[in-house]
Amino acid sequence: MTIAELEIRRAEPSDVDAMAQAHRDSIQSIGPAFYLPNDVDAWKEGLTGAVYLEAMAGGEVFFIATGKVDGIGLILGIASDYRVEGATHGTSVYVRGIAARRGIGTALLRQAEVYAAANGARSIQIEASLAGVEFYRANGYTEVRRGETRLMSGHAIACVFMRKDIWAAHTVGG
């Protein structure tokens, strides 16, 4: 399978339904290797375009990777940036199963990190799913602690809280 015309750009409100579809695909195709079926089902429950519209309205910025797979245009992955508190931002990355291990997630994460740094972030934190721990570790994130995160459905799944210190690329006098 070949991915053609790969592009990373900032998401727009018109992208939200396809973003939710890519997010659900990621959970459904990658999640089962790390979570029980009921956890996977609860994780994707309620994940619709409206969730992304609400997050955008609240200030979260999303980046998407688009491309053509067998001639069909798809959103292959998503990443986000949002302010947690002060100079600490949060992010997450999800890629479709067909896009995994092709550098797309890393490219999306870099875009979110650059955006965060340009907007005053000094560190980024993540509630990494068990499926994402090695990915984030490979991209410079360190484990803070292990625990659970509560999904939109109210269901809790195991996660690893991770963090990466970053420095703004554009500093005064730099």
Average pLDDT over residues 7-25: 96
- pLDDT tens for each residue of 110-155: 999 999 999 999 999 999 999 999 999 999 999 999 999 999 888 9
What tokens does 169 get? 């690329």
Average pLDDT over residues 57-72: 94
Q: Is residue 167 part of a domain?
A: no
The C-alpha atoms of residue 163 and residue 42 are separated, in whole angstroms, by 25
pTM score of the predicted model? 0.91
Enter the DSSP assignment of 118: H
- Domain of residue 18, CATH code: 3.40.630.30
* pLDDT value at residue 2: 80
Q: How many structural domains compose the chain?
A: 1
Q: Is residue 44 part of a domain?
A: yes
pLDDT band at 174 (very low <50, low <70, confident <90, very high): very low
Phi/psi-derived region of residue 50, left when phi > 0, alpha when psi is between -120 and 50, beta in every other case: alpha
